[in-house]
Amino acid sequence: MSTDAVLSTPLIISFGLCGPGSLVFETVRPRVQFRPRPHAHGRWRYIALQTVCQPGRPKDLAQIALQHRATANTLLLNQSTGGVGVTDAPDSHADLLSRPLFAHLATVRPDGAPLVNPMWFLWDEARGVVKLTHTKRRSNYNFFQSEPRVAMDISDPDDPYRYLQIRGVVEAIEDDPTGAFYKVLQLRYRGTVGEVSDREYRVVVTIRPTGFKVR
């Protein structure tokens, strides 16, 4: 079965890495049980009954998966722990998305080392995406190109044990030559709008969540 056929089928679709530069699409018909398979390190993971592995660049594969995510019931399998991701923002922690709190953004450097930065952000509830402002002169701009998968953590300053974790994929990077979106975030976080001196380098980074974790 071709990848196009799999993606056009109204089934549950999950996707994850299946090798260097490849993405696995797993489809499951309603009422069909997952088949457990032993995982390395003694854990169990669940493998869908029908699998297609599509080669390609990670960024392109992420775009393919995200394009079809809106037209299918998406079940994300956590390949490392066997857990099931939640793809909708939980109402119990909606305030952490709406309040002007700092998000800690985790990216991956080309050498595989993690990097975490505090970031301003805006939750676009209508589209279900997170938006950030960045510049083309910063390291993360290049990291997004080589590894679009990212993670974010937003903690409640009134209760440090309460937090929202977001796992996602960089869906788009768009130029913001006037700094318009940066001004939106200035107003959100500072209550005032000032000059954007580096506006010619500004971009808007859109992150599509693939899973949430709360506490």
135 vs 32, residue with greater confidence: 135
Sheet with 129-135, edge to edge strand ranges:
114-119, 103-108, 149-156, 159-175, 202-214, 129-135, 122-124
| pLDDT above 60 (res 61) | no
Weakest mean pLDDT among 52-56, 124-128, 133-137, 177-181: 52-56
pLDDT tens digits, 84-125: 345 678 899 999 999 999 999 999 998 999 999 999 999 999
CA 183/CA 179 separation, integer angstroms = 6
| Global confidence as pTM | 0.61
Cα distances from 205 to residues 16, 29, 119, in angstroms, run 22, 35, 12
Q: Which of 129, 3, 14 minimizes the C-alpha distance to 74?
A: 14
Spell out the CATH class of 91-214.
mainly beta
Q: With left for phi above 0 and alpha for psi between -120 and 50, is residue 179 left, alpha or beta?
A: left
Q: Which of 71, 52, 83, 198 minimizes the C-alpha distance to 138?
A: 198
Question: Which part of the chain has CATH 2.30.110.10?
Answer: 91-214
| pLDDT above 90 (res 178) | yes
**H or E element in which residue 96 lies:** helix 94-98
**Average pLDDT for 50-76:** 46
| pLDDT above 90 (res 184) | yes
Q: What is the residue-averaged pLDDT of the chain? A: 73
pLDDT bucket at 28, cuts 50 / 70 / 90 = very low
The beta strand positions in the chain, using DSSP E, are 12-17, 22-28, 35-38, 44-47, 50-55, 103-108, 114-119, 122-124, 129-135, 149-156, 159-175, 202-214
